Amino acid sequence: MVDGGIAESEIMKPHVAVLPSPGLGHVIPLLELAKVLVVHHGVQVSFLNITTEASVAQNQLLHPHTLPPGLRVIDLPPADISTLVSEETLVLTRLCINVEESLKPLKSVLMELGKLQALVIDLFCTQAFEICNELSIPTYTFFTPSTSFLAFSLYLPTLDRDVDCEFIDLPAPVQVPGCTPVRIDDLLDQVRNRKIDEYRWFLLHVNRLPMAAGIFLNSWEDLEPVSFKAIREHPFYQKTPTPPVHPIGPLLKRDAATTESDAECLAWLDEQPSNSVLFVALGSGGTLTAAQLTELAWGLEMSRQRFIVVARKPSDASASATFFNVGGDINDPKAYLPEGFLERTKGVGMAVPSWGPQELVLGHPSTGAFLSHCGWNSTLESITHGIPMVAWPLYAEQRMNATMLVEEVGVAVKPVVEPGKGVVEREEIERVVRMVLEGEEGKVMRRRARELKVKAEKTLNFGGSSYESLSRVTKEWKAQHL
């Protein structure tokens, strides 16, 4: 063994470092990329783990026993951010401050790793560009949301220069070059107020996208053909200039370990008819208000459809209240679901506290639909299992994803919020749940999702477009290594 644990056989392979920002939505796809590089492309990978405010779930995910040989985790020292953030600090600002402080020792960490062919970062780690420039390390961005959101992000600095008013006051949708216009109501939270820190952080990072040697995308061409064509061919992106774009998705968590409660959930599913169960889960950070959770529970009960709901303590303060505490406290659903709900729905429904085995549930033959927050990882998991969705966006770019899934991809239905109500009411929840599980519209969406499932499998296999896209980059790294 040499170099702190790297086998001599690994020295012959190109060495790449991978750096995600905190949060499962970032860690999971970058970890899956690292695994694919090691297992299928003959690359050794050092995975740089930001330990500051790391959740229980993140620590479990990066346990050495779950990782293939050739992939090692290097923990960055925890940073003290207690004087820089407070309970009121919004999620993206908190995340960016965390990264800024955690990356202070990055230069020395990279130098200790020896010669690297590349560093792969996610969108919120762009401080690495200057450091890697000093060290002559090519830096790639793994853009974890959708391709259409990449197009919007590349356009945002121009929009920021050209528009004086707040974007939410614009009289018409935002015309992203070559793409479907973005409705004002669908704009992500971070750009709805240009005076706040979240907007400044987001703009800072997207401004640096053109500095990348290339941009990896957790998508594939058949899923988002219009956005891919725009980024590659529209004059705006050629002038930006946009780095080479490499679609390499869908990269998803595949090898989930099961807990005792997971096994109970899957055993219950085994007893249900095919395509009959609605899975309700709102991502690693998603939380509902108390009023909305009550309406959701009543809507599920009124629909008389089978369901599994990942029940999480409500928060009236934030739709992303558990972002930094995934897999932490487990709550008793009886404490916050409507009185008698669990008893009345016994046998028809099941409540799983806080966290559920999402990829296993979506892959189960009894699962027929997914009520989802439309985070990009969850969206890809649903599509790659051929499961139609009830779109329930909460924060970040999820509203943009939801609209695309309904209107362009054709695999989702979005509940209607009555003007002035502030919540999706139980009758509307009953309607969409019945529609997606029993209605003709649901059957059409299921057929479309299953078509995309087949295409997703093909694109990842040897010779498929995503496999070959990543292979071309790794061949460049190998040529540089020789």
Catalytic residue among 15, 26, 246, 364: 26
Active site residue 332: no
Nearest in space to 19 (alpha carbons), one of 49, 43, 45: 49
Structure tokens at 175: 């015309």
Q: What is the C-alpha R_g of the chain?
A: 22
What is the widest separation between alpha-carbon atoms in the chain?
Answer: 67
> Nearest CA to 457 among 131, 198, 449?
449
Spot the catalytic one: 15, 41, 122, 186.
122
Q: Take residue 123 and report the two structure tokens written for it.
A: 């969108």
Helix axes 147-162, 225-233, angle to 10 degrees: 50
Phi, psi dihedral angles at 322 (to 5 degrees): -105, 15
Any residues with CB less than 8 A from the CB of 314 and at least 6 apart, and which?
Answer: 287, 288, 289, 290, 292, 293, 336
**Three-class secondary structure assignment of the chain:** CECCCECHHHHCCCEEEEECCCCHHHHHHHHHHHHHHHHHHCCEEEEEEECCCCCHHHHHHCCHHHCCCCEEEEEECCCCCCCCCCCCCCHHHHHHHHHHHHCCCHHHHHHHCCCCCEEEEECCCCCHHHHHHHHCCCEEEEECCCHHHHHHHHHHHHHHHHCCCCHHHCCCCECCCCCCCECHHHCCHHHCCCCCHHHHHHHHHHHCHHHCCEEEECCCCCCCHHHHHHHHHCHHHHHCCCCCEEECCCCCCCCCCCCHHHHHHHHHHHCCCCCCEEEEECCCCCCCCHHHHHHHHHHHHHHCCEEEEEECCCCCCCCCCCCCCCCCCCCCHHHCCCCCHHHHCECCEEEEECCCCHHHHHCCCCEEEEEECCCHHHHHHHHHCCCCEEECCCCCCHHHHHHHHHHHHCCEECCCCCCCCCCCCHHHHHHHHHHHHHCHHHHHHHHHHHHHHHHHHHHHCCCCHHHHHHHHHHHHHHHHHC
26 is catalytic: yes
Q: Do 452 and 460 form a contact (C-beta atoms < 8 A)?
A: no
Catalogue the active-site residues.
26, 122
